[in-house]
């Protein structure tokens, strides 16, 4: 038979009880060395390995972690997929999580959630051992989640109500500061800030804070006309903003964005309208995606190691799953200015 051997098969083969086999498997030191060896041999011979489903049912532990992607209400049902499709950021992050999880015999599940009920069900249905929240979620969801009793790691959250969870983040304010400062040092005085809706994104707000700080320090005034908000981070939205800038004839030479994606879209639109980057506009991205050094011009950007962010998040989660009662941690990863071709010293008039 190609049938998978069970723990009872092994037990029979080794002339012991299933319990003993289980003890050997789990390193419970209740077993004499000689029986242990017999059991190990039997396991080897039969090619036995435990069924995770059964383990999961009896231990109430699935060796499964979940990554939660945000779905706003106005998105179509199938938005998980489209979020993934368009956002290279998620891709790298998930890879990092995957890698660490796999090393520890965990598998990773992905979902988008519209409401907390759905989320709770998902966790319960699959007996998930831990959760990573990637993105912004409403307060109510966290209240629900904290009742779930499983470790949770948040990414890039600043809201007060998230303070009781683990968090992996970067110094977003510094990122915004570095980006603006870079342009200022290049002589730019009229600098735009391009982000998602600041009311909805504390991350972008932090970056904006850093941005403003740099301008203030340089004695430059923060001009609200040079703040551009878009709903979602896509290439297309980047193009739209660039066109808006051109249409409205904004006076500016420098642009700080919260995402390489937006920056790339903007550059494309500028080029389409015969504007040159960096000659006409200097643009700083954010993230340093793998594509960003291969665009033309290559992107000056604030680099964060998204892959490592995923790794750290998974490590944190694993530690918490391993033993509860670990204290809540905040891990801050570094950001760094990477200067490439999309920014340039301004040509004074």
Partner DNA sequence: TTGTACGCGTTATCAT
Partner DNA sequence: ATGATAACGCGTACAA
Binding site for DNA (CB under 7 A): 4, 6-8, 15-20, 22-23, 25-26, 29-32, 34-36, 48, 50-51, 54-55, 57-60
Is the CB of 104 or the CB of 234 nearer to DNA?
Answer: 104
Least gap, CB of 73 to DNA (angstroms): 29
Of these partners, DNA, its own copies, none, which one is at the site of residue 158 (CB under 5 to 8 Å by kind)? none
Q: Decide: is 223 part of the binding site for its own copies (CB under 8 A).
A: no
Task: Give the rounded distance of the alpha carbon of 135 from its chain centre.
Answer: 7
Total count of residues recorded for the chain: 349
Of these partners, its own copies, DNA, none, which one is at the site of residue 300 (CB under 5 to 8 Å by kind)? none
Q: Decide: is 326 part of the binding site for its own copies (CB under 8 A).
A: no
Least gap, CB of 324 to its own copies (angstroms): 16
Q: Decide: is 296 part of the binding site for its own copies (CB under 8 A).
A: yes
Give me 79's structure tokens: 């938005």
List all residues 6 or more positions away from 254 whose beta carbon is below 8 Å from its beta carbon: 183, 184, 186, 188, 189, 190, 191, 192, 281, 282, 283, 284, 343, 346
What is the 3-state composition of the chain as percent helix, strand, coil, each rounded to the nearest 5?
45, 15, 35
Q: Decide: is 111 part of the binding site for its own copies (CB under 8 A).
A: yes
Among 6, 25, 72, 126, binds its own copies (CB under 8 A): 126
Give me 176's structure tokens: 């915004």
Q: Decide: is 307 part of the binding site for its own copies (CB under 8 A).
A: yes
Whether omega before 278 lies within 30 degrees of 0, making that bond cis, reads yes
Is the CB of 92 or the CB of 173 nearer to its own copies?
Answer: 92
Q: Per DSSP, what are the bridge partners of residue 284?
A: 256, 300
Q: Decide: is 273 part of the binding site for its own copies (CB under 8 A).
A: no
Say if CB 289 and CB 89 are below 8 A apart: yes
Span interacting with its own copies, options 130-138, 170-178, 182-190, 294-302, rule CB under 8 A: 294-302
Q: Decide: is 104 part of the binding site for its own copies (CB under 8 A).
A: no
Q: Decide: is 81 part of the binding site for its own copies (CB under 8 A).
A: yes
Is the CB of 124 or the CB of 231 nearer to its own copies?
Answer: 124
Q: Please state, in angstroms and rounded to a whole number, the distance separating the CA atoms of residues 206 and 228.
A: 15
> Nearest to residue 258, comparing CAs of 240, 238, 239, 273?
238
Q: Decide: is 18 part of the binding site for its own copies (CB under 8 A).
A: no
Of these partners, DNA, its own copies, none, which one is at the site of residue 323 (CB under 5 to 8 Å by kind)? none
Among 107, 143, 159, 251, binds its own copies (CB under 8 A): 107
Q: Please state, in angstroms and rounded to a whole number, the distance separating the CA atoms of residues 326 and 149.
A: 13
Q: Per DSSP, what are the bridge partners of residue 166?
A: 153
**At CB < 8 A and 24+ separation, what contacts does 104-107 make?**
104/318, 105/63, 106/63, 106/64, 106/65, 106/318, 107/63, 107/64, 107/65
Q: Decide: is 275 part of the binding site for its own copies (CB under 8 A).
A: no
Q: Decide: is 267 part of the binding site for its own copies (CB under 8 A).
A: yes
Among 108, 237, 300, 301, binds its own copies (CB under 8 A): 108
Q: Please state, in angstroms and rounded to a whole number, the distance separating the CA atoms of residues 320 and 326.
A: 6
Task: Give the rounded distance of the alpha carbon of 252 from its chain centre.
Answer: 32
Under the rule (CB under 8 A), what is the footprint of its own copies?
Answer: 2, 4, 49-54, 56-57, 62, 77-78, 80-82, 84-86, 88, 91-92, 94-96, 98-99, 102-103, 107-111, 121, 124-127, 147, 149, 235, 264-265, 267-268, 271, 290-291, 293-298, 307
């Amino acid at each position: 038979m190609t049938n998978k051997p069970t723990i009872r098969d092994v037990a029979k083969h080794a002339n012991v009880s299933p319990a003993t086999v289980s003890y050997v498997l789990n390193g419970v030191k209740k077993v004499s060395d000689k029986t242990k060896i017999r059991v190990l041999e039997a396991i080897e011979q039969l090619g036995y390995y435990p069924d995770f489903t059964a383990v999961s049912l009896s231990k109430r532990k699935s060796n499964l972690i979940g990554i939660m992607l945000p779905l706003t209400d106005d998105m179509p049902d199938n938005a998980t997929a489209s979020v993934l499709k368009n956002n290279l950021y998620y891709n790298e992050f998930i890879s990092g999580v995957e890698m660490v999880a796999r090393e520890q015999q965990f598998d990773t599940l992905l979902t988008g959630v519209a409401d907390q009920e759905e989320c709770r069900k998902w966790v319960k249905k699959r007996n998930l051992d831990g959760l990573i929240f990637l993105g912004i979620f409403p307060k109510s969801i966290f209240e629900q989640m904290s009742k779930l009793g499983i470790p949770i790691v948040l990414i890039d959250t600043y809201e007060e109500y998230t303070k009781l969870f683990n968090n992996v983040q970067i110094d977003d304010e510094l990122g915004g500061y570095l980006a603006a400062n870079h342009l200022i040092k290049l002589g730019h005085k009229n600098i735009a800030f391009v982000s998602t809706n600041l009311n909805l994104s504390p991350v972008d707000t932090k970056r904006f804070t850093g941005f403003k700080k740099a301008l203030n320090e340089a004695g430059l005034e923060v001009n609200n006309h040079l703040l551009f908000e878009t709903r979602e981070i896509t290439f297309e939205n980047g193009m739209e903003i660039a066109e808006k800038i051109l249409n409205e004839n904004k006076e500016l030479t420098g642009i700080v964005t919260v995402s390489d994606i937006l920056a790339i879209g903007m550059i494309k639109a500028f080029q389409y309208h015969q504007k040159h980057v960096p000659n006409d506009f200097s643009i700083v991205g954010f993230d340093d995606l793998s594509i960003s050094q291969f665009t033309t011009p290559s992107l000056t950007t604030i680099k964060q190691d998204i892959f490592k962010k995923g790794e750290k998040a998974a490590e944190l989660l694993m530690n918490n799953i391993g033993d509860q009662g670990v204290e809540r941690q905040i891990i801050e990863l570094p950001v760094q200015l990477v200067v490439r071709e999309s920014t340039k010293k301004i040509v004074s008039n």
